[in-house]
Amino acid sequence: MYAVVGKSLTKYYKNLKALDSVTFSIRIGECFGFLGANGAGKTTLMSMIYGFILPTSGEIEVLGKKLQKSNLPEIKSKIGVVPQDNNLDPDLSVLENLLVYARYFDINKREALKRANSLLETINFLEWSNVNVKKLSGGMKRKLIFIRGLINEPDLLILDEPTTGLDPRSRKQIWDLIESMKHSGKTIILTSHYMEEAEKLCDKIAMMNKGKILLIDTPENLSMKFSGNLEKVYFEMTEE
């Protein structure tokens, strides 16, 4: 069974081809990584999977349904998104940020509070519930954004560059959260430009460059094929 299937996905922004005939499939319960530098097409592809944009051509199925305008609300309700940018509301507390986000999914206040407190407990944040997010460190904000993406109990979790700009300790904390989601059976899509991150967390990796997928395989197979030096191979493949 597949959580996401993309077939010949192409996306134009006027004369710019952001995606070029991208084809892939992601199994339910898999952690699938899209690896590439800035501008490789990763964020465009994530926006497409989430239903924020539609392809210029090609087809995409998400959670068993062909993505189209008529079923976007239904599909979005089953997806959790952790964006690379900090889009927390700076005027609200930690708890209020979670409760406000829950409203987008029509989760009643009592249930939203129950879920929010449970999620805050998983990252030892209960004592920070009433603290304004402005007072959080960068790593703490990333953890809050991460658990916010789980408030709707999604079947599919999209992590767009989840550790960009973090120090090593905070990055390790986010990795631990991702590992816990993997063990719970969530389907996870991860974008990154860190080879180490993709190798550690992903069951499969798709290397992207200039809107194309160069290859797809497991970290183990790629490591054996390229004698363990995946970073060097990626840079060689993406050279001008």
- pLDDT tens per residue across span 102-119: 999 999 999 999 999 999
Q: Please give the pLDDT value at position 68.
A: 87
Q: How far does CA 157 lie from the centroid of its chain?
A: 6
Mean of per-residue pLDDT scores for the chain: 90
Dihedral, CA atoms, 210, 211, 213, 218, nearest 10 degrees? Answer: 90
Is pLDDT at 89 greater than 60 in this prediction?
Answer: yes
Model confidence at 69, pLDDT cuts 50, 70, 90, reads confident
**Phi and psi at residue 92, in whole multiples of 5°?**
-115, 165
Strands 187-192 and 79-82: unpaired
DSSP letter (8 states) at residue 193: S
Model confidence at 240, pLDDT cuts 50, 70, 90, reads very low
Tokens 């798709």 belong to 206
What confidence tens digit (pLDDT) does each residue in 107-158 have? 999 999 999 999 999 899 999 999 999 999 988 999 999 999 999 999 999 9
- Does residue 185 sit in helix, strand or coil? coil
What confidence tens digit (pLDDT) does each residue in 1-20 have? 899 999 999 999 988 999 99
Q: Which two tokens stand for residue 215?
A: 């290859």
CA distance 166 to 170: 6
DSSP letter (8 states) at residue 86: -
Residues 6+ apart with CB under 8 A from 121: none
Q: Using alpha carbons, select from 58, 46, 53 the residue that is nearest to residue 20.
A: 58
Half-sphere exposure of 9 (CA within 13 A, CB side): 29
CA distance 99 to 4: 29
Strands 16-27 and 2-13: antiparallel
CA distance 16 to 154: 33
Q: Are residues 65 and 221 in contact, defined by beta-carbon separation less than 8 angstroms?
A: no
Q: Which two tokens stand for residue 238?
A: 């993406």
Q: Please give the pLDDT value at position 24.
A: 97
The domains found in the chain, sorted by start residue, are 1-78+155-164+186-240 (3.40.50.300), 85-153 (no CATH)
Instruction: Return the sign of the alpha-carbon dihedral for residues 144, 120, 192, 210.
Output: negative
User: What are the distances in angstroms from CA 141 to CA 116, 178, 208, 225?
Assistant: 15, 16, 28, 38
Model confidence at 235, pLDDT cuts 50, 70, 90, reads low
Q: Which two tokens stand for residue 59?
A: 């087809």
